[in-house]
Amino acid sequence: MTYVSLLAPMAAAAHEVGALLLATPRRAAAPADTMEELAAAYLALETPAVAVMRRHLDALLPGVPWAEELHDERSLNADPNADPDASSSADPVAGPSAGPSAETSAGTSPAPSSRPGATPDTTPTPRLPAEGDVWTVDVIDGAVQFMRDLPHFCVSLALVRDGEPVAAALHAPLLGETYLAAAGHGATRNGETITPSARTRLEAALVGTSHPPFAAGQPAAVAAAGRSLAAVLPAVGAVRNLGPTSWQIADTAAGRLDAFWEYGRDDANLLPGALVAREAGAVVSDTAGRPWQAGASGFLVAPRELHGQLLELLNPPLA
């Protein structure tokens, strides 16, 4: 089975999950006041969606596990610009996935307290095997928005082979849009080929950013996010956080956003978007300029003409 041949059934799975989400009442009469309550409310929404997705993926590639089942308890408070090859915490199986973001049994991390033994700085994260196939799935990327009746959420999934994403599907039910990408075959939105922005200057650029789930457990990422926002905001037209990480990356791949950056470990949501962006022709790196890989503590995607300019802002010279 080729990577391209996987895309239609992956899209069908994402569409069925999206339809289920749209039919699901999601605003509780009493909003959650604690992380435990938030996690419980989320799991009640996630569980039926996971069941639908699992049925599709088990039929498509029987026996292929989900990365989120291979939990790896490690500190997430890493130096955002540390070389991922320089320590054992950054080997190919260290992150929430191989590229994009970490979240629950389906790809979206519940609150650390919802997992026995988990603490804010050792939240179990999906990990990727160095060899073989594994799914990384987030049935509700943008779960917080979804639970508040906000429209910014999507279903995202990727097949990862030998540590690299090779097929990806992202579907935003309320937008009626689907991004698809297969390694070596380009990327599309609703069947149309996408390419990044042709912008060459930052001064009028629209740039996206976000943070990993439960960012309080990653204080180094929180600090880096603050510093980077202070550096980028005065240099661009506008900075926005438009919701789901994977979708913002895909929108950068399609030229709707001119660039996107994020600090922290968020592989389960980064992997699908990273493949879409690479296949569209965008540059995907960590925030120090190295090729991005799962487990890195920073992520940057931009067209080539803007990528170097953003790296300079994110890495100012030492005084």
Structural domains for the chain: 3-190 (3.30.540.10), 206-314 (3.40.190.80)
Mean pLDDT of 6-29: 91
Residues 136 and 67 sit within 8 Å (Cβ to Cβ): yes
Share of the chain above pLDDT 70, in %: 80
Q: Residue 123 pLDDT > 60, yes or no? A: no
Summarize pLDDT for 176-202 with one digit per residue, the tens: 999 999 999 999 999 999 999 999 999
Q: Is 203 annotated as a binding residue?
A: no
Read off the pTM: 0.83
Q: Is 140 annotated as a binding residue?
A: yes
Mean pLDDT of 109-133: 50
> What band does 18 get if pLDDT is binned at 50, 70 and 90?
very high
Order of strands across the sheet that contains 259-263: 238-240, 206-210, 259-263, 298-302, 283-285
Q: Is 68 annotated as a binding residue?
A: yes
The H or E element that residue 21 is part of is helix 3-22
Residues with Cβ within 8 Å of 239's Cβ and at least 6 positions away in sequence, in order, are: 207, 208, 209, 229, 232, 233
By CB neighbour count within 10 A (0-12 exposed, 13-18 middle, 19+ buried), where does 59 fall? exposed
Mean pLDDT of 36-45: 89
The pLDDT score that the predictor gives to residue 226 is 94
Mean pLDDT of 8-12: 99
Cα gap 303→305, rounded to integer Å: 6
Cα gap 289→56, rounded to integer Å: 37
CA quadruple 58, 212, 179, 150: dihedral sign: positive
